[in-house]
Chain A
């Protein structure tokens, strides 16, 4: 199999997924690519050793062993790029989600995340929270100023008694309708637990 074929699988997973959607973390393919990297590294080293044993200058000699090293080196760099891009593009989706739904990982995506991604989600949301409390500003609210500070919503999921950011409590029974402060409702709409009613 041509070098770098496994790594392409990871990248295609991101490319073929719907934009902004997460697929389950492919830990199997991911570790296979890492194993491939270790193999390239081992091959690279044994070629270097072979040249040293023959008494050749590794830095200047351009023989067939040198070009073999070159190919292993390039394959390593390529695999690294694919792995990094896989992680980076998933992390970007997670970062955006933190801004929308706050500190808890929604259960719909729990099982799609790797352990380190869950850590990342938590730490990013902690960092955001501590920054917002330092500047005393709620930065995660909608960027566009509302025409009306209150909106009408319908509750889609039974949530029971809930304490809202504006210090009120409300009883959100399923299908009940409420007139809420926009800032109180935003998070629940993003989580899919409420919908905005218009008209």
Chain B
């Protein structure tokens, strides 16, 4: 095999293994996406009173009363839920309407506007809330959409699908781009070309030196 292609393939394989690995562990301390997933808001109901904090925008003092309903980022809601300080509820992006729409025509639902990290967030939420179908629902939604994304990514020009792209979650966009870049790498391997290029971190355009 051509070294360039081989390198590309190995790189791809490596990144997939890393992805799967981090997906199974569900976290990596420095992982940017994981940090953003944990920043998603979850509605909670407080079970205990809390003093000296400003997390309830409707409260006039620095206190939270039991029974207050607040939206908290996952990283906070999750810990409070485990300690029974607050009870997590299913976030709006996994509501009944979304489920029905995904069940009817999964591939044309705009998931991006609901939650950029729909699947990752769902996986974190699933074991904590009372909704038992969450796991299988996420899987079947992903399955339907995955097929369509790959078909589009391999078949047509990038720009023709800007509408599709604006519907995709982060994970799906990564898949779409991986498919596109592997096609590009394959074409480059067939045609040949310079092996060395300017380091990409320095920017693509060269300053005009007069």
> When the two chains form the complex, which single residue of B4, B76, B83, B207 contacts A75, counting CB atoms closer than 8 Å?
B76
B24 within 8 A of A: no
| B76 surroundings in chain A (CB, below 8 A) | 3-4, 71, 74-75, 78
CB distance from B58 to the nearest CB of A (A): 13
Excluding A11-B35, A46-B52, A84-B30, 5 further A-B contacts by CB distance (< 8 Å) are A64-B49, A64-B63, A71-B76, A144-B4, A191-B198
| A100 surroundings in chain B (CB, below 8 A) | 199
B75 within 8 A of A: yes
B162 within 8 A of A: no
Interface size class of B (residues with CB under 8 A): 35 or more
Closest A residue to B83 by CB, please name it: A70
**Residues of B contacting A: mostly:** loop
B83:A12 contact, CB within 8 angstroms: no
A184 within 8 A of B: no
A8:B202 contact, CB within 8 angstroms: no
Closest A residue to B70 by CB, please name it: A2
B200:A2 contact, CB within 8 angstroms: no
Q: Can you identify 22 A-B contacts, CB atoms within 8 angstroms?
A: A8-B35, A12-B36, A14-B32, A21-B200, A21-B203, A63-B51, A64-B50, A67-B49, A67-B80, A70-B80, A70-B83, A82-B35, A84-B29, A84-B30, A89-B30, A106-B202, A156-B209, A174-B209, A186-B196, A189-B198, A192-B202, A198-B192
| B75 surroundings in chain A (CB, below 8 A) | 4, 74, 78
Number of A-B contacts (CB under 8 A): 135
Give CA–CA (A144, B192) in the complex, Å: 15
How many residues belonging to A are interface residues under a CB distance threshold of 8 Å? 59
Give CA–CA (A22, B36) in the complex, Å: 19
B55 within 8 A of A: yes
Task: Convert B29-42 into 0s and 1s, putting 1 for each residue whose CB lies closer than 8 angstroms to a CB of A.
Answer: 11111011001000
| B201 surroundings in chain A (CB, below 8 A) | 20-22, 93, 96-97, 109
| A85 surroundings in chain B (CB, below 8 A) | 29-32, 35
B30:A68 contact, CB within 8 angstroms: no
